[in-house]
Amino acid sequence: MKQFLWPSIKLTLLSLLLLSGVYTLILLGVAQLAPGKGKGELIAWKGKTYYANIGQSFTDDRYFWSRPSAVGYNASGSGGSNKGPNNPEYLQTVKDRIDSFLVHNPDIGRAQIPVDLVTASGSGLDPDISLQAAKVQAPRIARLRGIPETSLLALIDKQTEQPLLGLFGPAKLNVLRLNMALDNLK
């Protein structure tokens, strides 16, 4: 028994040092290379300050809508709904979102609605929407703002973030930045 006690204590102390100290410092160093130095990217818009990496609620028809949030866009309570795809309450929530989207976008068919406009992300704070989600909203916004749809599609193309190294993940658009650019569109 004594022969295992000292190695166990050493292994515990080594693990504590590596996982609590060294690993933390490595992550802190890597975060310094990210925009905002790991503190998030702050954007000032319309007299308020927002985090670019946290989803915002946009419900005005003159703006691109964000992905729904299961936590009301509250960053302190990040999380999904934890309801499975066969849960009747979840299915009703998605159906209500689809119906609402169709009311505000009468030119769009049910099959054209991208999934990211009617389902919340795992964190409930996704700041991005898919390219398809932006394009399907363009006719509504063009009509309400009196902007040619081609101008909106050009704006969408300009604001699209391509996958990392052209391989990892889909093309996406940050909704806050897209709506800021939309307000600056002449």
Check residue 118 and give its pLDDT.
92
Check residue 47 and give its pLDDT.
86
**Crossing angle of helices 149-159 and 175-184, rounded to 10°:** 130
- Tokens for 144, please give them: 């309400």
Check residue 62 and give its pLDDT.
94
- Domain positions in the chain: 52-184
Q: Which amino acid is at 5?
A: L
- β-pairing, 128-130 with 48-51? unpaired
Backbone angles phi, psi at 45, to 5 degrees: -155, 130
Q: Rounded CA gap, 97 and 152, in Å?
A: 24
Residues of the chain with pLDDT under 50: none
Check residue 114 and give its pLDDT.
94
Check residue 71 and give its pLDDT.
86
Q: Rounded CA gap, 102 and 107, in Å?
A: 8
- Please report the beta strands in the chain, taking only residues with DSSP state E, as ranges in sequence order: 42-45, 48-51, 128-130, 172-174
Mind listing the pLDDT tens digit for each residue in 64-105?
999 998 888 888 878 777 888 888 999 999 999 999 999 999
User: CA distances (Å), 133 to each of 52, 55, 82, 87, 185, in order?
Assistant: 18, 15, 24, 25, 20
Check residue 121 and give its pLDDT.
83
3-state secondary structure of 128: strand
Check residue 173 and give its pLDDT.
93
Residue 132 CB contacts under 8 Å (≥ 6 apart), including other chains:
114
Q: Rounded CA gap, 48 and 145, in Å?
A: 23
Check residue 39 and give its pLDDT.
75
